[in-house]
Structure 1
Amino acid sequence: DPLGGASVAYWGRIAEHHRLDLTVVNPLTDPTWRFMTLDWDGKIRMDCSSPHAMASLIEKRDRFAIATGNDADADRHGIVTPDGGLMNPNHYLATAIAYLYAHRTEWPADAGVGKTLVSSGMIDRVAGDLGRRLVEVPVGFKWFVGGLLDGSLGFGGEESAGASFLRRDGSVWTTDKDGIILALLASEITAVTGRSPSEHYAALTARFGEPAYARIDAPATREEKARLARLSPAEVTADTLAGEPVTAVLTEAPGNGAPIGGIKVTTENAWFAARPSGTEDVYKIYGESFLGADHLRQVQDEAKLVVLGALGG
């Protein structure tokens, strides 16, 4: 489902050229977007990672071995499986990484795994299991460009359902997000392994644990947002988070040393990152726990206190 966007004219040609059994369920382009189901807030939004915007495709999930969608400019992907419905973007990133590094035998042996610092820790565990170097960068796909160009990264992905990876021979395909190849990869995974991407993710959670992940907003003035963006690790005095010792306080990304415009605090089984919003008087708290949803809520509650303390509140 192209969601009425730029990929609508591509899928038919892709199917023809590669002789794929592929159906474009919604070939419409219409400036009124009358074919779109409304997003969570009642607005029309071509968000292929939203179960509300993707509702019409999710309803058809039992008709196809795999179903995929793209946003309007086709740089993001949404993966729908018969057994799991719409996959969480973090879940699919981890699944794609596990599959690609096991099956792309011509990729450089030292090609690392790129992720943004607010993407799931499941990626860290998958990369460690693969014996691949993890390159954790600030939010923004631009940080993957150099690595994808020179092959030092095989894959780069961000939690908002944007990713790209090398060609089969290990050369660069594109240095921008490509929703089409991530959608095609979901079909490849299903065809080659006989299991859906969501089944593969379930296998990953059986091995590495099942994380709970969420993003929430907290109020902040413009002055507080400016201070948050300039915090140093020394200004964060907390030594525990949700009952676990703090293992790191980051204001620079470990993968490239670039400022993250906020803070990230990690423990053995959880983390949170706080970044100011560029458009609203709030800051964003990303959090994850491998100890369950209740522990994640504790992480989120304590994250607000950590940020407040660091800002001198």
Structure 2
Amino acid sequence: MHERAGTPAQPQDLIDVDALLGDYYDRVPDPANPDERVVFGTSGHRGSAADTAFNEAHIVATTAAIVEYRAAQGTDGPLFIGIDTHALSGPALETAIEVLAAAEVDVRVDARGGYTPTPALSRAILVANGAATATGLRTSGAGLADGIVVTPSHNPPRDGGFKYNPPHGGPADTDATSWIAARANEILSGGAWKHVKRIPYDRAKRSSAIRPYDYMAAYVAELPSVIDMDAIREGDVRIGADPLGGAAVEYWGAIAEEHRLNLTVVNPDVDPRWGFMALDWDGKIRMDCSSPFVMANVRALMEDGNAPYDIATGNDADADRHGIVTRDGGLMNPNHYLAAAIHYLHSGARPQWRDDARIGKTLVSSSLIDRVGARLGRTVEEVPVGFKWFVPGLMSGDVTFGGEESAGASFLTREGRVWTTDKDGIILCLLAAEMTGATGSTPSQIHSALVSDLGESWYTRLDATATKKEKDTLKKLSPSQVQATELAGQEITAKLTEAPGNGAPVGGLKVTTADAWFAARPSGTEDVYKIYAESFVSAEHLEQVADAARTVVADALGSAE
């Protein structure tokens, strides 16, 4: 834990934006260096221009690879593209536009010249492919749309990110990302990226291939199809929304105006250095709205006994994550909020949802969700980390709600149709207000009632630095490499490297007992590995589980040497 975690950023914490942008154009990656190649993690290629990991060459090569991939797949409709507020997002957009225009791809850019939250882009793809029509979503045939989101999500200000969303509107699966990354690295090799056809940006943006699309107007207008705005208005729920300097910054004001909500944008500032942020656990500026350190400013709004809001919210840089703060409970643990939201939505709030549809959760989300599902009489499907696993079910309506422990989720429209197939932090924040207005109880109070009936749990997530070799080793662990037979005094009942819900590899390890579990997996975006743990016994028992987890992981990594 950094000594200044949760305190305001200081001048020495801020990036030099001009130097970073210079690095974007000046540094040229060496494809022979693994750290400088295109690598798609759980959500796109990420890196910093200062590390020669996110530079003009990477974006030229990756965009060219996407052009080839979509052509091979027969995706010949519009390509929607949007950016977040990271400093590298703007130049990466310009580079991509130069390549796309030269390839005569039919591109849709933000009509306002602003920022585009990930859920707004996902929704645009789905609508273009028929999600809002009576005939339903098309996944094949001519004219299919897809998209690119230029964002590293919650990563620090020095980073950039580039993500491909195919016609289903959600994160691309490994069949697509592996091909795109491999082809991009081929284009990088030998300097071939310099010969990719491009049109200078000033001319490209005026070409017939690049056309405007009003992402914000379309998204904001459709929100009543997924959120009960009447419940928020009639309950006079007071909302304080902090976009944390991210892509949702203009969206919240538009939502308040169009839907006549008692909503205040508490921080309308955009700063690519994020100088107004509080430091995260490790002393870095990181827009993780589930972190109590990052959310220090939002929490402070509600800690006064005369808090001006009933609900305060935060989003990360591309608004695919949510942070919920209540007057009575403070910043909610993401798992607590997921459990409360799932209970509310399936307890009469969405009567048109199918009774046989499943609830989706990642295997590192709280087991309280399993207990809520059992109480509701619904199947809970446990999948590996990564929102892509929820995409098929959300598209078909077979999954009503898909949620991740890292404060990312989406759910169906009120009629039971697909809303987004990528995470939507905006609707999860609005849902907290709907829950408060419809029930008279905050999400914290709803969670407390669940705990009284189903048992209290204690949950934690710990991050530890890791080398790439250690991350690769952890990703490939087998149950036989875990020699322990008990965990924090309880017999181990399962050692999982495949998810129970779909049998897919978890990219790590999960160990369970009767009253506790832990999971360990490498980060797909940073040089750390994560340990998740939960206990239904006590806070002290959770500490024992976490300590035992560290030992089990260390022994397993050691045995693999």
- Between the aligned partners of 1:155 and 1:64, the Cα distance in structure 2 is 27
1:207 is displaced (CA, Å) by 1.4
In structure 1, the residue matched to 2:365 is 119
Q: Secondary structure at the match of 1:59?
A: helix
- Between the aligned partners of 1:27 and 1:282, the Cα distance in structure 2 is 32
- Between the aligned partners of 1:300 and 1:39, the Cα distance in structure 2 is 21
Q: Deviations over 1:28-81 (max 9, x none)?
A: 223343333333444332221222322222222211111111111111111111
Unaligned runs of 5+ in 2: 1-241
- Between the aligned partners of 2:397 and 2:483, the Cα distance in structure 1 is 39
- Between the aligned partners of 2:506 and 2:394, the Cα distance in structure 1 is 21
Judged with a 3 Å threshold, the aligned counterparts in structure 2 of structure 1 residues 100 and 280 are, in CA distance, closer, same or farther, namely closer
Report the identity percentage: 67
In structure 1, the residue matched to 2:236 is none
Aligned residues: 313
In structure 2, the residue matched to 1:304 is 550
In structure 2, the residue matched to 1:101 is 346
- Between the aligned partners of 1:42 and 1:275, the Cα distance in structure 2 is 22
Q: Deviations over 1:97-140 (max 9, x none)?
A: 11111121110111111111111111111111111111111111
- Between the aligned partners of 1:23 and 1:64, the Cα distance in structure 2 is 9
Root-mean-square deviation (CA), in Å? 2.0
Q: With structure 2 as the length reference, what TM-score do the two structures score? A: 0.53
Indicate yes or no: 2:472 matched with 1:226: yes
Superposed, 1:33-112 pairs within 5 Å as 33-61=274-302, 62-102=307-347, 103-112=349-358
Superposed, 1:175-194 pairs within 5 Å as 175-194=421-440
1:270 is displaced (CA, Å) by 0.2
In structure 1, the residue matched to 2:387 is 141
In structure 2, the residue matched to 1:295 is 541
Q: Which amino acid aligns with 1:147?
A: G
- Between the aligned partners of 1:114 and 1:28, the Cα distance in structure 2 is 35
- Between the aligned partners of 2:285 and 2:464, the Cα distance in structure 1 is 25
Q: Which amino acid aligns with 2:535?
A: S
Judged with a 3 Å threshold, the aligned counterparts in structure 2 of structure 1 residues 227 and 23 are, in CA distance, closer, same or farther, namely closer
4+ long deviations beyond 6 Å: none
Superposed, 1:136-175 pairs within 5 Å as 136-175=382-421
Q: With structure 1 as the length reference, what TM-score do the two structures score? A: 0.93
1:225 is displaced (CA, Å) by 4.0
- Between the aligned partners of 2:529 and 2:273, the Cα distance in structure 1 is 33
Q: Deviations over 1:164-214 (max 9, x none)?
A: 000001000000000100000000000000011111111111112221111
Q: Which amino acid aligns with 1:180?
A: I
* Larger deviation, residues 272-281 vs 85-94: 272-281
Q: Secondary structure at the match of 2:345?
A: helix
1:17 is displaced (CA, Å) by 2.1
Greater Rg, structure 1 or structure 2? Answer: 2
- Between the aligned partners of 1:113 and 1:176, the Cα distance in structure 2 is 16
Indicate yes or no: 2:248 matched with 1:4: no
Match of 1:286 among 520, 532, 543: 532
Judged with a 3 Å threshold, the aligned counterparts in structure 2 of structure 1 residues 295 and 19 are, in CA distance, closer, same or farther, namely same
Indicate yes or no: 2:500 matched with 1:254: yes
- Between the aligned partners of 1:46 and 1:310, the Cα distance in structure 2 is 32
